[in-house]
Amino acid sequence: MAKKSYETKYECHTHDVLVIGAGGAGLRAAIEASSQGLSVGLICKSLLGKAHTVMAEGGVAASMGNVDPDDGWKTHFRDTIHGGKFLNNYRMAELHAKESADRIRELERWGAVFDRTEKGKIMQRPFGGHTYRRLCHVGDHTGLEIIRTLQDKGVHSGIDVYMEATITHLLKEDGRISGCIGYWRESGRCVIFNAKAVILATGGIGKGFKVTSNSWEYTADGQGMAYRAGAELIDMEFVQFHPTGMVWPNGVKGLLITEAVRGEGGLLTNSEGERFMKNVDPERMELSTRDIVAKAINKEVKEGRGSPHGGVFLDISHRGPEYVRKKLPGMYRQLLEFADVDITKGPMEVGPTTHYTMGGIRVDADTAQTTIPGLFACGEVAGGMHGANRLGGNSLSDLLVFGRRAGLGAVEYANGLKEQPQIDDADVKAAVKELSQPFERDDGENPYAIHKDLQELMQSKVGIVREEGELKEALDELQTLKGRAKNIAVTGARQFNPGWHLAIELDNMLIASEMVARCALQRTESRGAHTRIDHEGYNEHWGKTNSTINANGEEMVIGQSTLMEMPDDLKALAYEEKK
């Protein structure tokens, strides 16, 4: 066959299955696809083993029943549905609850070393929203253990790993996937991948917000690419804010302060010294659920009773230095070393930090296929599993369960194709042109300045508490930002140029931010992580409805679709009274 012109111009690679993203979800997917004997490529924008998954602390949820023998998939299923405020894709929640324990056993077989019980089994700890002690963990670095185990398994599975390559466009032939294009961060050169099936496992969107626990990689690339390629997304209004992230000093802004600080007796106060939680949840006070605490903090700040740097005070020092050092050794050391904040001596300044994206690309529960044939999605980039609110620990297990399923789904699809799909020269040309544009403008906007403005906007108007007027203003301002982004100019060469990288990523962040704002405006109720002060409480219609997002040319189309109804046996489980 004659070579296409792009093949002579650019570096090209061909695989059966291509996985974009090497966090827990992508690695697990690649291992599965490779174990079925197909040729697999795994691409990530940073070095292998550095993905966001490495930051997860608390643990991974699986109803193994090692500590509480009564636990089982049914309780885990019910907890997940309750946590998600009944908006979950029930089939995903069911598969997740049934399969996560097997995925943990498998990790152990691959060499993971979890903390142990006295009987020599994997230790499990309690966490908000889980009826039983369910989170398997390794101290406070569970994510590191998971990613290292998968990484070591992966490098011996014959997977081709492409590190520090950023994918920017998905490519299609006749409506089905045919590959993708991106650039090497190091050289700035384009690289093209041809594949029968592509799995997106690129994570979340947190970098669109000012205060976030997320790493630089969370620029919504997967959401943006899938949208531009014509895939449907759902429920993007549901963004989880963890109530206690550091707001000050800058060196630790966004850093997560674990729930254990409040568990050990930490007190939340406003600038008047008042324990304001008594106004919203006098019974549980500081130990109320994540969404309630986050909203209460937000209210104090908005009403002018915040701390000097826009948070509230969290103080554990009254427990005495010895107690604090014994119970919270990691936290104590980290804050002292990093930020010169001695939590045995005085309060921290904390506020809600953007943490997790519940919404995402619509997938089929069993195969993880999106609405584009040959395109699959798993992990944080996929939507549905967690409904309106995710329980702690349910993400790491989600990565393993649906990473594996996406791998299997992609293999089955790829095996069903008679021939390798073809990449269109014109698509390559268009993508390459788009990538070079920021270099061609002599005088234009600074990408860092636009990013900063976007973060301010999302934080203040599309943040934790929303209202029609502000959302509309935000949408107007987003249009202005989009206009400015079209006029970005970058300086320097193409080699490892962060300004250019950001210029390209901004496109995706702007798309995802618009999705969040539009869906938030449409959903006239408050549910889980989405709060409208002008529409308090649940609404029956919205309780059965997913938000949908599709591209129609340049226009973003927001719609609604009816939530899949649970079969009766699952319904009985979900609505069963908690013991």
β-bridge pairing 60-61 and 135-136: antiparallel
536 binds other proteins (CB under 8 A): no
500 binds, among ligand FAD, other proteins, none (CB under 5 to 8 A by kind): other proteins
In degrees rounded to 5, what are phi and psi of residue 492?
A: 90, -175
Min dist CB 33 to ligand FAD, Å, is 15
Q: Cis omega before residue 249 (within 30°)?
A: yes
The DSSP output letter for 527 is: B
> Which range touches other proteins (CB under 8 A), out of 101-109, 259-267, 361-369, 527-535?
101-109
Q: Which of 242, 355, 466, 523 is catalytic?
A: 242
Figure out which of the listed residues 71, 99, 221, 291 binds ligand FAD, where binding follows CB under 6 A. Answer: 221
Closer to ligand FAD at the Cβ: 21 or 463?
21
Nearest-approach distance from CB 533 to ligand FAD, in angstroms? 27
Q: Compare residues 395 and 526 and give the one whose CB is closer to ligand FAD.
A: 395
- Minimum Å gap between C-beta 389 and other proteins is 24
Q: Are 116 and 380 in contact (CB under 8 A)?
A: no
Spatial contact of 181 and 358, defined as CB atoms under 8 Å apart: no
DSSP 209: S
Residues numbered 139 to 178 that lie near other proteins (CB under 8 A) are 139, 141, 144-145, 148, 152-153, 155-156, 163
Binding of other proteins at residue 113 (CB under 8 A)?
yes
- How far apart CA 557 and CA 567 sit, in angstroms, is 30
Active site residue 262: yes
Least Å distance, CB 47 to ligand FAD, is: 9
Residue 203 interacts with which of ligand FAD, other proteins, none, CB < 5 to 8 Å by class: ligand FAD
**145 contact choice in other proteins, ligand FAD, none (CB below 5 to 8 Å, kind-dependent):** other proteins
DSSP letter, residue 422: P
Of other proteins, ligand FAD, none, which one does residue 212 interact with (CB within 5 to 8 Å by kind)?
A: none
Three-state secondary structure call for residue 484: helix
CB of 109 to other proteins, least distance (A): 5
To ligand FAD, the closest distance from the beta carbon of 50 in angstroms equals: 7
The residue range among 210-218, 420-428, 459-467, 476-484 that interacts with ligand FAD, by the rule CB under 6 A, is: 210-218
d(CA 124, CA 516): 35
Q: Residue 209, exposed/middle/buried by CB under 10 A (0-12, 13-18, 19+)?
A: buried
Helices (H) and strands (E) counted in the chain, each on its own, are 17, 18
Q: What are phi and psi of 180, to 5 degrees?
A: -160, 165
CA 494 to chain centre: 29
- Shortest approach of other proteins to residue 174 CB, angstroms? 35
Residue 78 falls in the annotated catalytic set: no
Is 77 in contact with 570 (CB distance < 8 Å)? yes
Catalytic residue (one of 15, 52, 262, 535):
262
Site for ligand FAD (CB under 6 A): which residue of 33, 62, 167, 257?
Answer: 167
Q: Measured from the CB of residue 48, what is the shortest distance to ligand FAD in angstroms? A: 8
339 CB neighbour count, 10 Å cutoff: 18
CA 480, chain centre distance (Å)? 26
Among 12, 20, 170, 503, binds ligand FAD (CB under 6 A): 20
How far is residue 410 from each of residues 35, 227, 375, measured CA to CA in Å? Answer: 12, 19, 8
Distance CA 456, CA 366 (A): 39
| Residue 341 partner contact from ligand FAD, other proteins, none using kind-dependent CB cut-offs of 5 to 8 Å | other proteins
Number of other CB atoms surrounding residue 532 within 10 Å: 21
Amino acid at 232: E
| Binding test (CB under 6 A) with ligand FAD, winner from 16, 34, 52, 253 | 52
Contact code string over 400-439 relative to other proteins, x by CB under 8 A:
----------------------------------------
* CB contact at 8 A, 523 and 561: no
Residue 209 C-beta: closest distance to other proteins, Å: 15
Q: Which is nearer to other proteins, 217 or 232 (CB)?
A: 217
Burial of residue 489 (number of CB atoms within 10 Å: 0-12, 13-18, 19+): middle
Q: Are 383 and 362 in contact (CB under 8 A)?
A: yes
Closer to other proteins at the Cβ: 491 or 524? 491
CB of 176 to other proteins, least distance (A): 33
56: contact with ligand FAD by CB under 6 A? yes
Angle at 200 between CA 5 and CA 99, to 5 degrees: 145
Q: Which of residues 34-63 bind other proteins (CB under 8 A)?
A: 46-52, 54-55
β pairing state of 176-184 and 190-200: antiparallel
**Residue closer to ligand FAD (CB basis): 48 or 465:** 48
How many residues can be counted in the chain? 579
Beta bridge partners of 242: 353
Using CB under 8 A, which of 278, 433, 452, 541 touches other proteins? 452
Q: Which residue, 62 or 324, has its beta carbon nearer to ligand FAD?
A: 62
Q: Which of 9, 13, 57, 439 binds ligand FAD (CB under 6 A)?
A: 57
End-to-end CA distance of the chain: 66
C-alpha to C-alpha distance for 365 and 367, rounded to whole angstroms: 6
One of 43, 138, 324, 408 touching ligand FAD (CB under 6 A) = 43
Q: How far is CA 264 from CA 67, 145, 316, 320, in A?
A: 22, 26, 8, 12
Q: Which of 279, 415, 493, 557 binds other proteins (CB under 8 A)?
A: 493
> Alpha-carbon distance 30 to 62, whole Å?
22
Contacts to other proteins by CB under 8 A: 46-52, 54-55, 105, 108-111, 113, 115-116, 118-121, 138-139, 141, 144-145, 148, 152-153, 155-156, 163, 186-187, 215-217, 248-252, 254-255, 334, 337-341, 446-449, 452, 490-493, 495-500, 502
Query: Catalytic amino acids?
Result: 242, 262
| Residues at the site binding ligand FAD, with contacts judged by CB under 6 A | 20-26, 43-46, 51-53, 55-60, 142-143, 166-167, 182, 201-203, 213-214, 217, 221, 256, 355-356, 379-381, 392-396, 399
